[in-house]
Amino acid sequence: MRIGRIIQEEADTIPMAPLIDIVFLTLVFFMVTSVYATLESEVDITLPTADTAQKGERAQGEIYINLRDDGTIVVNERSLNVEELQETLHRVALYFPGGAVIIRGDHNANLGRAIQILDCCRKADIQHVAFAAVAEEVKR
């Protein structure tokens, strides 16, 4: 009696279902992040002007804090009080250590409110804080 093994070679194929899933999820991720980037910059704020203002690139974990002229603090289209902002910044510092905060304050906003935002950033141990401004137009 002869006992032998039958060896079948399987053709090397790339499974398409997981590949399609990964491509689809990547597409959804980029669509969602681009929507948030435009929402944060569309808040009705008149930014102050500066000679040295530069357009920066968005980094991971970066959060925009919008300060309206009436003193309202807006993050992701939600109005927050100082306590809610502090809680949000603590979560940002926890999940994105080394993340940055950009304060987009209206040129008529109260400086005291901006100092409260800076204090919240310091309490959350966020070291990278910047203020947004637009470049002054050259007058001819």
* pLDDT tens column, 118-139: 999 999 998 888 888 887 764 4
pTM, two decimals, is: 0.62
CATH code of the domain containing 47: 3.30.420.270
Which residues constitute the domain of residue 66? 22-135
Tokens of 67: 């300060």
Taking 80 as the threshold, does the pLDDT of residue 69 lie above it?
A: yes
Asked if the structure places residue 8 within a domain, the reply is: no
How many separate helices (H) and strands (E) can be counted in the chain? Answer: 3, 7
Strands 78-80 and 73-75: antiparallel
Q: Picking from 1-10, 18-27, 103-112, 118-127, which range would have the lowest pLDDT averaged per residue?
A: 1-10
25 against 45, higher pLDDT: 25
pLDDT computed for residue 139 by the predictor: 42
Asked if the structure places residue 17 within a domain, the reply is: no
Asked if the structure places residue 2 within a domain, the reply is: no
Domain total in the chain? 1
Going by pLDDT thresholds of 50, 70 and 90, the confidence category of residue 35 is low
